[in-house]
């Protein structure tokens, strides 16, 4: 076999099910002939997002793979790879490369040198006989430790070279995990049990470790409230009585109350990164951090009790250690769950004028509130887009189960959510997969709605059309007054219909729930992608923005 056929056989051994690709590469033909389904996107960035959403939805157990052309194809993929790297998503990117004799010569673009800063692993197959070992290292990197993208460049001349029989042998990789040091766990458990007002902060490491059950068990044992990072949203079911919701650059009222009061915060599966999309931790708190990447320890905060290990195993250790200290369960005269409910009810009451707003244009918070009534969160996989949709949905949407929400944002290119939700549908076809995006985000990647239509991946795309860049109101005041720089326009429902999907334009608040119910029916019965365009107001208020 030649190099590309060898790659196909290795991908199949590693359980790869599809190949996201645009416009064409030699790997595409070989993979298709080998039984790997190609998903032809309209631009490389969305192709990366499709693979990203697939890997996230499967917790990295099944890897999303992308193939792009050398030169412009690889160049266009850069922002998607940067997003995957910043959010620690395990995807395999395989760009072709210029012939080896032209590598490094201007103006020939080199993926190996250009993407070194935004990949976990990067290597070129420089001879056909090294194909198996290069892919083995790439898949091993994808499965060990902190996730992240791996890139394998395949020079166009090497792609068709023959691989010798003795060089073909390949054994699939597997994930290796380890516990935390028992002394570190015991010290952390003692501090956690002695804390008067502890809060558990769940990161996406809980999701990748499939540790939701252990997290729920620990929280219930200690009657400790749980919040999550943006990337960790849904790692703890947000309908659980001990859930505070998500703590990001915006947060719910319960998060603000409990994190502000906390004397100890236990970050599990989180890098505890300081970033514009993250919740800053207030000073003066005792901090426990459990992470599988030692580089996270003391990176942005002074950590009192560090633990390095897999989130699932560390949580089991913490449960056992805490049970020895507190017995079977911690008791309290006023339960934490009752206090959380009281805080949530009070906070939601303050927002009811927006969540139940009957005015026109429709308030975007009304769309989110009615969506939760129309489609039960356990039936869905939901993601946001950048800007206003992200800030509006994160505090209020309550996920129910691991990966029923895909949070993202450390490198937040407009339009990312569409690729993610298409990938989620590939991974979980039984779920109602919905992405919320604004009109600015649709302008970036909206034509890839046709990819979902053509590929028979019936997602629901929600466009909150306020005809402006509302999130930029305070930052573009003078230019907008002079030149209307924030104004946007378009009838996106018409575009959705023109691309072959089912679409509706909704202007009446009373039609929000029926529209979502019709959309679900169309996706499930007809297998057709749906675009719902809601004509909304330019809402700029957000909940507890970067409160600490």
* Mean local confidence (pLDDT), 107-133: 94
- pLDDT per position as a tens digit, 72-89: 999 999 999 999 999 999
Domain limits of the chain?
Answer: 3-167, 182-339, 356-535
257: how many CB neighbours lie within 10 A of its CB? 22
Taking CA atoms, 147 is separated from 59, 138, 269, 406, in Å, by: 10, 12, 12, 16
- Residue 436's pLDDT is 98
Task: Give the DSSP H/E element, type plus range, for residue 12.
Answer: helix 3-13
Q: What is the pTM of this model?
A: 0.95
Candidate from 250-264, 358-372, 484-498 with smallest mean pLDDT: 484-498
Burial of 235 (0-12, 13-18, 19+ CB in 10 A): buried
- pLDDT per position as a tens digit, 381-405: 999 999 899 999 999 999 999 999 9
Instruction: Say whether pLDDT at 546 is over 80.
Output: no
Q: Which string of DSSP letters, residue by residue, matches 256-305?
A: HHHHHH-SEEEEES------TTBPPPPTT-EEEEEES-GGGTTSSS--SE
> pLDDT category, 332, cuts 50, 70, 90?
low
C-beta of residue 266 within 8 angstroms of C-beta of residue 198 = yes
- Residue 103's pLDDT is 73
- Residue 329's pLDDT is 61
Answer whether CATH 3.40.50.970 is correct for domain 3-167: yes
Rounded Cα distance between 109 and 238, Å, is: 45
- Residue 469's pLDDT is 83
- The per-residue pLDDT of the chain, averaged, comes to 95
Instruction: Say whether pLDDT at 471 is over 90.
Output: no
* Mean local confidence (pLDDT), 463-475: 86
C-beta of residue 541 within 8 angstroms of C-beta of residue 474 = no
Answer whether CATH 3.40.50.970 is correct for domain 356-535: yes
Instruction: Say whether pLDDT at 334 is over 80.
Output: no
Phi-psi region of 105 (alpha: psi -120 to 50; beta: other; left: phi over 0): beta
Higher pLDDT, 410 or 42: 42
Sign of the torsion angle spanned by Cα atoms 468, 394, 461, 40: positive
- Residue 343's pLDDT is 97
> pLDDT category, 475, cuts 50, 70, 90?
confident
- Residue 331's pLDDT is 55
Of the chain, the percentage scoring pLDDT greater than 70 comes to: 99
Contacts of residue 366, Cβ cutoff 8 Å, sequence gap at least 6: 354, 355, 356, 357, 358, 509, 512
282: how many CB neighbours lie within 10 A of its CB? 13
Instruction: Say whether pLDDT at 333 is over 70.
Output: no
> pLDDT category, 285, cuts 50, 70, 90?
very high
- pLDDT per position as a tens digit, 136-165: 999 999 999 999 999 999 999 999 999 998
- Residue 30's pLDDT is 95
- Residue 547's pLDDT is 75
C-beta of residue 227 within 8 angstroms of C-beta of residue 387 = no
Per CATH, 3-167 and 356-535 having the same topology is answered yes
- Residue 101's pLDDT is 77
Q: Is the peptide bond before 107 cis (omega within 30 degrees of 0)?
A: yes
Of the chain, the percentage scoring pLDDT greater than 90 comes to: 88
- Residue 11's pLDDT is 97
CATH topology for 182-339?
Rossmann fold (3.40.50)
Instruction: Say whether pLDDT at 450 is over 90.
Output: yes
* Mean local confidence (pLDDT), 198-212: 98
Q: Which string of DSSP letters, residue by residue, matches 429-465?
A: TTSEEEEEEEHHHHHHHGGGHHHHHHTT---EEEEEE
Instruction: Say whether pLDDT at 545 is over 90.
Output: no
If DSSP codes are grouped into helix, strand and coil, which group holds residue 419? Answer: helix
> pLDDT category, 222, cuts 50, 70, 90?
very high
Identify which of 159, 73, 55 has the alpha carbon closest to the alpha carbon of residue 115.
73
Candidate from 177-181, 289-293, 422-426, 488-492 with smallest mean pLDDT: 488-492
The DSSP secondary-structure symbol of 127 reads S
- Residue 330's pLDDT is 64
Contacts of residue 469, Cβ cutoff 8 Å, sequence gap at least 6: 387, 440, 476, 486, 488
Sign of the torsion angle spanned by Cα atoms 196, 199, 205, 210: positive
- pLDDT per position as a tens digit, 289-320: 999 999 999 999 999 999 999 999 999 999 99
């Amino acid at each position: 076999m030649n190099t590309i056929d060898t790659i196909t056989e290795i991908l199949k051994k590693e359980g790869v099910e599809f190949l996201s690709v645009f416009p064409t590469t030699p790997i595409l033909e070989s993979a298709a002939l080998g039984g790997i389904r190609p998903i032809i996107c309209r631009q490389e960035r969305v192709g990366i997002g499709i693979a990203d959403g697939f890997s996230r939805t499967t917790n990295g157990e099944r890897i999303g793979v992308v193939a792009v052309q050398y030169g412009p194809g690889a160049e266009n993929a850069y922002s998607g790879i940067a997003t995957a790297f910043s959010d620690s998503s395990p995807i395999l990117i395989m760009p072709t490369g210029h012939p080896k004799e032209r590598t490094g010569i201007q103006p020939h673009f080199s993926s190996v040198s250009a993407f070194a800063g935004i990949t976990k692993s990067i290597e070129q197959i420089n001879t056909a006989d090294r194909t198996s070992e290069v892919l083995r290292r790439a898949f091993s990197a994808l499965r060990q430790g902190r996730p992240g993208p791996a890139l394998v460049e395949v020079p166009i001349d090497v792609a068709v070279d023959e691989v010798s029989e003795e060089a073909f042998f390949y054994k699939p990789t597997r994930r290796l995990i380890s516990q935390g040091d028992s002394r570190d766990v015991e010290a952390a458990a003692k501090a956690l049990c002695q804390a008067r007002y502890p809060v558990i902060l769940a990161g996406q490491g809980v999701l990748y470790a499939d540790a939701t059950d252990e997290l729920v068990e620990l929280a219930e044992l200690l009657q400790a409230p749980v919040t999550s990072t943006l990337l960790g949203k849904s790692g703890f079911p947000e309908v659980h009585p001990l859930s505070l919701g998500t703590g990001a650059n915006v947060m719910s009222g319960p998060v603000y109350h409990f994190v502000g009061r906390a004397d100890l915060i236990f970050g599990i599966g989180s890098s505890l990164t300081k970033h514009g999309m993250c919740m800053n931790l207030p000073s003066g708190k005792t901090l426990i951090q459990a992470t599988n990447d030692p580089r996270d320890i003391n990176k942005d905060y002074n950590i009192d009790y560090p633990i390095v290990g897999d989130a699932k195993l560390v949580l089991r250790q913490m449960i056992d250690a805490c049970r020895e200290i507190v017995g079977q369960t911690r008791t309290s005269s006023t339960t934490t769950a009752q206090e959380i409910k009281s805080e949530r009810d009070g906070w939601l009451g303050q927002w009811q004028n927006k969540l139940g707003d009957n005015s026109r244009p429709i308030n975007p918070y009304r769309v989110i509130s009615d969506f939760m009534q129309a489609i039960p969160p356990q039936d869905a996989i939901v993601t946001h887009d950048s800007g206003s949709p992200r800030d509006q949905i994160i505090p209020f949407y309550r996920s129910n189960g691991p990966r029923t929400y895909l949070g993202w944002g450390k490198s937040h290119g407009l339009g990312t959510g569409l690729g993610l939700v298409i990938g989620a549908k590939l991974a979980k076809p039984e779920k109602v997969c919905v992405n919320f995006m604004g009109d600015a985000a649709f302008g970036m990647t909206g034509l890839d709605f046709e990819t979902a239509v053509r590929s028979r991946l019936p997602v629901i795309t929600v466009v909150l059309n306020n005809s402006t860049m509302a999130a930029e109101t305070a930052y573009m005041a003078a230019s907008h007054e002079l030149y209307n720089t924030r104004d946007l326009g378009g009838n996106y429902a018409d575009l959705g219909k023109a691309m072959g999907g089912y679409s509706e334009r909704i202007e009446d608040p009373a039609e929000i729930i029926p529209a979502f119910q019709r959309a679900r029916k169309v996706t499930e019965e007809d297998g057709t992608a749906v675009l719902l365009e809601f004509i909304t107001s330019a809402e700029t208020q957000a909940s507890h923005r970067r409160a600490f």
